[in-house]
Amino acid sequence: MRAGTRGAVGSAVRKRLLVHLLATAMVWTAARHATARELSAGDMELLERHMPVLIIHPQDPARKRPGSGVLRGPGKKGFADYHPIALEEIASRATARERVSGWRGWLEVARSINPFTWKPLQPTGLAEIQRIAATQKTDNMELDLAPVRESSGRHMWSYYSKELEGPRGAGLRRAVIHGDVVRKGGATTLVYDLAYFGNDHINKHGGDHEIVAVRLGADGQPVELGVSAHSGGNRLEWQHARVEDGRPVVYVGRGSHGMYLAHEPKGYPMHDIENLGVAGKLVRAAVFVLSGGRKLRDMVPGDPAFDRGLKAVEYGERLTDIEVRPLPKWARRYQGTWGGAPRIKPDLHGVGVKGPWAGNDARFNNPRQWMRGLRHASEESPTIRARIAAKKAGTRRRTAKSRVPIRRR
């Protein structure tokens, strides 16, 4: 090959490479811009107009911690619970680090279980976490709550209670919900993320997220309401939901924060729950056997302004003074878990969960599709036997669909 020809080929390759790099940079920039979109004043007005009213147990250090009532009823003082707070309040108390696997993961779990070997971590700092989220890939990261042993619900509540009454308590006492307005497929949906410091049911873990979604019609008025309960949830037509001055009334489960649309004295069966870990599964089995076949349940407090005939300790409070904020740009870019989550199998305890906007989670990214898959609030929750049968049938369908016919010559 002549030198001139080689030079021409090299120049063409360099041009193609430059074009490819420019195209990649444009896509990356567009993606960053898309995930950091700003909400207009009209969007914020919509979010504030239809923000949920929460029926929730008080956030009171003098009362029992949430998880102390999983296997027995409330005491004379009832139960306390975590309230939704700003994501910055969780991140500022966390250590950002890579999730570990193998023997190092098991070592982390062993330390977290044993109160004599566990030691507090050094918090990373909110500013540094925001920088990491903006500049690094975070899919395999965790925000481990630095000052608490997350596998211990009592330890987590003890720390939180002291913080509530301490100099940094103002941020924890301020109820905050992060909102977004999603326009997709011709539909507009208001999405609210309720972030909690921790989950204290049978699966103890730091950082908890639940979702309320309000779908608007072509005229801009609400037509459907959806609420999450762990990995499932319920939906209901807006005209049949309890609405006060444009705001839906939602009941929050004690300790677990699963959400429901009415008070149920006997609670709601907890079927759609994942990441239990070995300890959680053993507790669920024990509850099922010792309670004569009754299912593990989400217990929601009664509304003091609506539900009648309950004991005083069974009532919650009406949380109406809630601030709605846009989802922070740094939080949307953060794709890791909120709470410690080592990569080991089997998990001994529940692990921290990812934000509902991370990855391909439809709750934030395609809420209309997510709401279509929810169980209607009027439907009875399926029995364990029915769920097992449905799971087997689904497995058989997937197996049959995956078979490739053999073509004979």
- pLDDT tens column, 11-24: 655 556 554 444 44
> What are the distances in angstroms from CA 166 to CA 28, 160, 162, 170, 171?
43, 10, 6, 8, 11
**Residue 226 near residue 215 (C-beta atoms within 8 A):** yes
One-letter amino acid of 174: R
Tokens of 18: 């430059």
Q: 292: alpha, beta or left, given left = phi > 0 and alpha = psi -120 to 50?
A: left
353-354, strands of its sheet edge to edge: 94-98, 141-145, 337-338, 353-354
**Structural Rg of the chain based on CA atoms:** 24
The C-alpha atoms of residue 306 and residue 26 are separated, in whole angstroms, by 54
Q: Given this model, what pLDDT does residue 7 score?
A: 56
Q: Given this model, what pLDDT does residue 10 score?
A: 56
* 380 three-class SS: coil
Return contacts of 238-245, CB within 8 angstroms, 24+ apart: 238/214, 240/377, 242/306, 244/53
**Residue 352 near residue 143 (C-beta atoms within 8 A):** yes
CA angle 53, 66, 288 (to 5 degrees): 110
One-letter amino acid of 235: R
The C-alpha atoms of residue 120 and residue 236 are separated, in whole angstroms, by 44
- Matching residue, tokens 């005939």: 309
End-to-end CA distance of the chain: 48
Beta bridge partners of 325: 178
Q: Given this model, what pLDDT does residue 318 score?
A: 97
Region 388-394 average pLDDT: 66
Beta bridge partners of 177: 324
The C-alpha atoms of residue 231 and residue 233 are separated, in whole angstroms, by 7
Q: What is the pTM of this model?
A: 0.83
Question: What percentage of the chain has pLDDT greater than the value 90?
Answer: 57
> What are the distances in angstroms from CA 50 to CA 108, 238, 247, 322?
43, 11, 4, 12
Beta bridge partners of 73: none
Q: What is the number of residues in the chain?
A: 409
Tell me: the pLDDT tens digits for 100-144?
A: 888 888 888 788 878 888 889 999 999 999 999 999 999 999 999
Tokens of 202: 């049978």
Beta bridge partners of 56: 317
> What are the distances in angstroms from CA 385 to CA 40, 251, 382?
48, 27, 8
- Average pLDDT in the chain: 84
pLDDT at 224 over 90: yes
Q: Given this model, what pLDDT does residue 399 score?
A: 41
For β-strands 337-338 and 141-145, DSSP reports them as: parallel
The C-alpha atoms of residue 374 and residue 377 are separated, in whole angstroms, by 9
Region 323-332 average pLDDT: 96
| pLDDT band (50, 70, 90) for residue 351 | confident
**Residue 355 near residue 331 (C-beta atoms within 8 A):** yes
Q: Say whether the peptide bond before residue 147 is cis (omega within 30 degrees of 0).
A: no
Tell me: the pLDDT tens digits for 158-208?
A: 999 999 999 999 999 999 999 999 999 889 999 999 999 999 988 888 999
pLDDT at 291 over 50: yes
- The closest alpha carbon to 78, from 286, 291, 381, 310, belongs to 310
